[in-house]
Amino acid sequence: MQTQDAIESRRSIRKYKKEPVEEGKIHSMIKAGVWAPSGLNNQPWRFKIIEDEKTKNLLASHTHYGGLIKQAPLCIVVFLDCERSYDREKDFMAVGACIQNMLLTAHDLGLGCVWLGEILNQRKQAEKALECPSFCELAAVIAVGVPDEKPTSKRKSLDEFLL
């Protein structure tokens, strides 16, 4: 897929087929994530793959999007590695770039994802559920699966953004 096509056709996917996600595709997503730019090339991200029902259910109890987490075959949890961090604001921006790379790669590979940020409202509880190491901070959960919907979110026209 061409880059611009991938960017414009990617959508948040919140319904998944009852099909497993191939391990190689998860590997490709994470590889794309770590090729994101970061300040001083400090690569301040860490990942945890959650597939087991017990952890998914625990995580699900700390967000309004719990039903979605339970339905997804797996979730990739993205953390900020505080030991590698040099500037919290810039490092979270880098983690955002990392997540976008992962979403675009997933889309290119025929997977569907949604970036779940609302869970940060219960960050501490979610970190406990995830047995998050003390040097990490939860940044986002990405629910991943084979898409079972075709959403059509729109964007405002470019004129509305140009200053």
| Interface pick for ligand FMN out of 32, 69, 114, 142 (rule CB under 6 A) | 114
- Check residue 12 for interaction with ligand FMN (CB under 6 A): yes
| Interface pick for ligand FMN out of 117, 122, 123, 125 (rule CB under 6 A) | 117
| Interface pick for ligand FMN out of 116, 129, 136, 146 (rule CB under 6 A) | 116
* Spatial distance between the Cα atoms of 35 and 94, rounded to a whole number of angstroms: 10
Contacts of 107 (CB under 8 A, 6+ apart): 1, 6, 9, 10, 113
Residue 76 beta carbon to ligand FMN: minimum distance, rounded to whole angstroms: 14
- Check residue 15 for interaction with ligand FMN (CB under 6 A): no
CB-count burial class (<10 Å; 0-12, 13-18, 19+) for 116: buried
* 57 vs 121 by CB, closer to ligand FMN: 121
**How many other CB atoms are found less than 10 A from the CB of residue 90?**
15
| Interface pick for ligand FMN out of 5, 19, 83, 118 (rule CB under 6 A) | 118
Kindly indicate which of the ranges 20-28, 40-48, 72-80, 116-124 contains the residues binding ligand FMN, using the contact rule CB under 6 A: 116-124
Query: Which of 47, 115, 124 has its CA nearest to residue 80?
Result: 47
What's phi and psi for 96, nearest 5 deg? -65, -40
